[in-house]
Copies of this chain bind each other. A is one copy, B any other.
């Protein structure tokens, strides 16, 4: 009998792989070791729990541990941490509360995820200073808001977490300041989209400090202020959301190679350099569909899809994990902002492109139809090949239209091909020329 399929980490990649492998090959043992207590949870839903739109943290759990065990027949061990991998013996060393043992594997998936980066700020260990990466942290923030009723909150970092938490905490009646070192929020979305978001954040009462380096936090029993170089800003609560780092230490110690991004290098099937050892999710790289180069995009769909593919592969049918276009979408109060592909000029040039870009404002419906709102679309293409490289957009409705460009980018369409797409039109849904088509028309004009 084949040795079991062992999965390290019980979130999106790990549980997708475990479930799929067991479904495709029911005779094989599938074990998942998860060091925490939560599995298969929607981390992206946590801000909405804190906001109060999701009643119970448990609602964010897609499949419970019991369901995995009983309905899917996956041997899921929560509270079990894998502390070492021995690729020669094909075993992992597992530690739990009251035991430590070796587990042999036939195939191994590393799905250890990523962790919030915690810069060495003074006072980062003060009570009231949080990162938001795990369900336990979400619970702790929610408790802290409930118990302490903070009047002010400081969010360090103007990325997804920062923007989503600004909305959540404002809704909870907290006055929010965001501190971002860069000249813009939402860096991967480009400056045009970020500018629209920033105006809106300010309209919503968020105090935005761009190009502002936080030195640390001060307070006696708990945090009371954010310390800047020459200022101190009151903050009864601090969320540090400055990015994530892949959890690669366990893999590295076992001799697994990392890629240029610092995450685990994988091939198109999610295989690492060690035989029968796979990696997927936020700890691993994926291939960028625009550049063809390894990329690190720690987002849920990539993790789920790669896990599912690896589950299929280890069950006997080799399946590619699929690439990433770096597609992302974020809600900022009343706005939706989205991006896909390569939109940063410098990054495009590094990948060998000569980027040309336009930004247009277009209505989401005809002017005469009620409820039309403005969508700001930035579209980027390569000058010579005229291939669409990426896009970013923002508006009160229609942010999911990014999927059209995500599809075009993945299919390698040119701007002319994008412009000629037969997109859906009727007055309640779109103007005759969808904003994406309008952007393509304008960009085409610039390419000629």
Which of A's residues lie within 8 Å of B, judged by CB?
A: 12, 42, 44-45, 48, 53-54, 59-60, 289, 299-302, 304-305, 320, 322-331, 336, 338, 340, 366-370, 398-404, 406-408, 410-413, 417, 419-430, 432-434, 436-437
Contacts and interface: CB of A to CB of B under 8 A. Distances in A.
Contacts of A323: 420, 422
Contacts of A324: 422
Nearest to A418: B407
A320 to B, nearest CB: 7
A213 B302 CA distance: 52
Given A44-B425, A329-B426, A403-B421, 18 more contacts: A42-B366, A48-B369, A53-B369, A289-B422, A300-B425, A301-B437, A304-B432, A320-B420, A322-B419, A322-B420, A322-B422, A327-B425, A328-B426, A331-B428, A400-B424, A403-B434, A406-B421, A407-B411
A261 B399 CA distance: 37
Contacts of A404: 403-404, 406-407
21 contacts: A42-B427, A45-B369, A45-B427, A59-B367, A299-B425, A300-B432, A322-B419, A322-B422, A323-B420, A324-B422, A327-B423, A327-B425, A331-B429, A340-B424, A398-B400, A400-B400, A404-B404, A406-B424, A407-B423, A408-B411, A410-B420
Q: Tell which of A12, A324, A428, A433 has the most Cβ of chain B within 10 Å.
A: A428
A122 to B, nearest CB: 33
A432 B301 contact: yes
Contacts of A336: 428-429
Q: Tell which of A399, A400, A402 has the most Cβ of chain B within 10 Å.
A: A400
Q: Tell which of A45, A304, A403, A429 has the most Cβ of chain B within 10 Å.
A: A403
A411 B437 CA distance: 15
B421 A410 contact: yes
A399 B60 CA distance: 26
Nearest to A412: B411
Contacts of A420: 305, 320, 322-323, 410
B422 A410 contact: yes
Contacts of A370: 53
A320 B444 CA distance: 14
Contacts of A42: 366, 368, 427, 432
A117 to B, nearest CB: 21
Nearest to A54: B368
B427 A403 contact: no
Contacts of A289: 422
Nearest to A300: B432
Contacts of A428: 48, 331, 336
Nearest to A371: B53
A289 B293 CA distance: 31
Contacts of A403: 401, 403-404, 421, 423-424, 434, 436
Contacts of A329: 424-426, 429-430
A422 B45 contact: no
Contacts of A413: 407, 411
Nearest to A448: B317
A430 B327 CA distance: 13
Contacts of A402: 424
A299 B425 CA distance: 9
A323 B417 CA distance: 10
